[in-house]
Structure formats: C-alpha cells, structure tokens
C-alpha cells in the first residue's frame, strides 16, 4: 500500500512517499480503507522530534491519527462494525495511528459511524481537534451557562470547535484572531471578537471564568490577566507543560492551570457525530492536499495561519 513515512526526525522534507505492506487486523481490530486524514500541529511536532511522543517512536514510522473511510475487514471478535461501514475517529493517540496511508488498523471502540449527511472530508477534519476542544470545554474548564470564556486562536483547528462547544453550553464567548476571520467567527458563536493585531486582549476582556490558550509563552502569561480569581485555564501545547513562570502566575492570580492530554473516546466521537449530523457543529476546512503533497500539508500547518483544519486526500 502507499504511505508517507519518516525515517528520521526533522523538517517536512523527511516525509517520504513509499510502498509498504498492507496491515492485517487481529481478532479485535478493524481494517480501514482511508478516504481522508487530518493534519494537526502535534503531527508536525512528532515529525520534527520535538514532541514527547517522538522519543517512543520506532522509525521508520507512519504518522497520523485522524481518519475517515470505510471498513475493509473486521476481526472475528468485532461486533460493532461490518465491512463497508463508513466510519471516522481518532485512533492510536498518543501512540501511533498510522493514518498517512491507504489502509490502517483501529480499535473499533475509538470509531463511530459517519452520518450520511457528513462528508468524508468533514469527518476527517474533526476527530483529534474535536475531542481536544470538547474535553477542554466540558471536562477541564467545566463550562456552564452564563459563564465568560476566552478562546485564544479562535479561528484555528481546535479554536473554532471550542468556540462552538462553549456556545452550546450557553457561555459568553470571546475569541482572538486576525481581523480577516471576524466574519467567520461571529456566526459560529464568538460574542466578542478581539483582533489581536489591533488590540491587547488583556485590555479588552476581563473577569473570564475560563480561558482556552493555544500558544504558550507570552500569550499564556498575558492570559492570566483575563481570568478572575478562582477561574480555570487550559493550555494546550504539551511542550509548555510545567512552565515555571506560568505555574507561578497561576498561583499569583489564584487560577487553576491545566495542561490536558486528549484521550480518544468513541462515545464522545458518537456525540460529536450527532452534532455534525444535526448541523449544530460546523468544521472549517482550510486546505485539502493529496498524499503526494504531504510535505506541503505540514508546511501549511507550520505557518500557524490556517483557518480551521488541513486535511489530506488518500483515496
């Protein structure tokens, strides 16, 4: 089968298109013929060798966690799905999902049926970012109706989904982005749009119950000025975990600071699938690349300027 692999860590150019052996499911797995896969910032960090996951990776390796496609075959103990079912999900995280390929294996408990009115493109764009956003809003920040929430990088892959999950909980949502994204963000739930190029978010948004922070560093430090005492903040980049300055600022401001690790969850994927089917959740796709152009897909992510998600067409 055709796949993109890495033989070493480094820049996007370490990704190579090659032919490799088609996997065979064990008794408890399904084999998926992949239609699309999503590209996430964590993919680029694992490829570069800067993620904590990189040290546990055995090279050569196939990267990727987001998948949409059809069930090609099932193990004898699998009862949840049958051959031909259209499915999607986040597989293997934080291990190896191996979705930069024509076929991949998956634990059926991590998958859900793709609604007929949801495209394979949309389905591939959702899993890792959607679960990250859903868990941040509901499990870590514990947003409830009437609360004030700040979503940093609100037009990003996780950000635009987090905005919608917060709005579904009945929150007042503020979001930071460049001015060109205001017309995209307001209709999906941003009540207060903050153009970070023209104003300082800490000057215009105060007393938040919660902040979802996606950058780390100075943006993280400045975000503490937006949160009321006793509030919560989620910082997504795992590379910033246990930042001493951030921990000290959290103490000074009496803010609970959380560095979460997303966990794949088939039941949550089923819930997200229902929201997509009912058109209560929109996923924005910025660019679609062919598998042969996987290097360009990684470069696009590393510009930090994409709106929504970048996906790759496999089949």
pLDDT computed for residue 19 by the predictor:
97
pLDDT computed for residue 7 by the predictor:
96
User: What string of DSSP letters covers 105-165?
Assistant: EE-GGGEEEPPTTS-HHHHHHSHHHHHHHHHIIIIIS---TT-EEEETTTTSTTHHHHHHH
- Taking domain 129-258, whether its CATH number is 3.40.50.720 is answered by yes
What is the rounded CA–CA span in Å between residue 101 and residue 122? 18
- Residues 6 or more apart whose CB falls under 8 angstroms from that of 275 comprise 168, 281
pLDDT computed for residue 8 by the predictor:
97
Dump pLDDT digits (tens) for 216-255: 899 999 999 999 999 999 999 887 888 999 999 999 999 9
Ramachandran assignment for 174, one of left (phi > 0), alpha (psi -120 to 50 degrees), beta (any other): beta
Q: Note the pTM of the prediction, 2 decimals.
A: 0.95
What is the rounded CA–CA span in Å between residue 111 and residue 91? 8
Dump pLDDT digits (tens) for 278-293: 999 999 999 999 999 9
pLDDT computed for residue 117 by the predictor:
98
pLDDT computed for residue 238 by the predictor:
80
pLDDT computed for residue 92 by the predictor:
87
What is the rounded CA–CA span in Å between residue 100 and residue 61? 10
In the chain, list all ranges with CATH 3.40.50.720.
Answer: 129-258
Q: What is the CATH code of the structural domain delimited by 2-126+283-313? A: 3.90.180.10
User: What does the pLDDT profile of the chain (315 residues) look like in tens digits?
Assistant: 999 999 999 999 999 999 999 999 999 999 999 999 999 999 999 999 988 888 888 999 999 999 999 999 999 999 999 999 999 999 988 877 899 999 999 999 999 999 999 999 999 999 999 999 999 999 999 999 999 999 999 999 999 999 999 999 999 999 999 999 999 999 999 999 999 999 999 999 999 999 999 988 999 999 999 999 999 999 998 878 889 999 999 999 999 999 999 999 999 999 999 999 999 999 999 999 999 999 999 999 999 889 999 999 998
pLDDT computed for residue 56 by the predictor:
84
Angle of CA points 308, 310, 311, to nearest 5°: 130
pLDDT computed for residue 91 by the predictor:
95
pLDDT computed for residue 59 by the predictor:
93
In the chain, list all ranges with CATH 3.90.180.10.
Answer: 2-126+283-313
- 8-state DSSP, 7: S
């Amino acid at each position: 089968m055709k796949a993109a692999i890495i033989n070493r860590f480094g820049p996007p150019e370490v990704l190579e298109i090659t032919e490799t052996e088609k996997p065979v499911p064990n008794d408890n797995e399904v084999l998926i013929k992949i239609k699309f896969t999503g590209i996430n910032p964590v993919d680029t960090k694992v490829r570069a060798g800067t993620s904590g996951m990189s040290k546990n990776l055995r090279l050569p390796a196939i990267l990727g966690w987001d998948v949409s496609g059809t069930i090609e075959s099932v193990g004898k103990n699998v009862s949840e799905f049958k051959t031909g079912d259209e499915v999607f999900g986040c597989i293997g995280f934080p291990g190896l999902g191996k979705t930069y390929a024509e076929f991949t294996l998956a634990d059926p408990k991590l998958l859900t049926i793709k609604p007929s009115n949801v495209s394979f493109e949309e389905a591939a764009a959702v899993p890792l970012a959607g679960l990250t956003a859903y868990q941040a809003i509901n499990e870590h920040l514990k947003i409830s109706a009437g609360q004030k929430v700040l979503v940093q990088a609100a037009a990003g892959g996780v950000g635009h989904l987090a905005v919608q999950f917060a709005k579904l909980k009945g929150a007042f949502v503020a979001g930071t982005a460049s001015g060109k994204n205001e017309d995209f963000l307001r209709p999906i739930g941003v009540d207060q749009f903050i153009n970070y190029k023209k104003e300082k978010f800490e000057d215009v948004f105060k007393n938040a119950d919660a902040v979802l922070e996606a950058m780390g560093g100075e943006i993280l430090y400045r975000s503490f000025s937006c949160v009321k005492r006793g509030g919560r903040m989620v910082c997504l980049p795992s590379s910033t975990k246990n930042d001493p300055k951030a921990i000290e600022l959290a103490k000074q401001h009496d803010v609970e600071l959380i560095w979460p690790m997303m966990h794949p969850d088939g039941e949550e994927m089923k819930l997200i699938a229902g929201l997509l089917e009912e058109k209560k959740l929109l996923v924005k796709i910025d660019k679609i690349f062919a598998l042969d152009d996987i290097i360009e897909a990684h470069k696009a992510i590393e510009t930090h300027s994409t709106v929504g998600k970048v996906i790759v067409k496999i089949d």
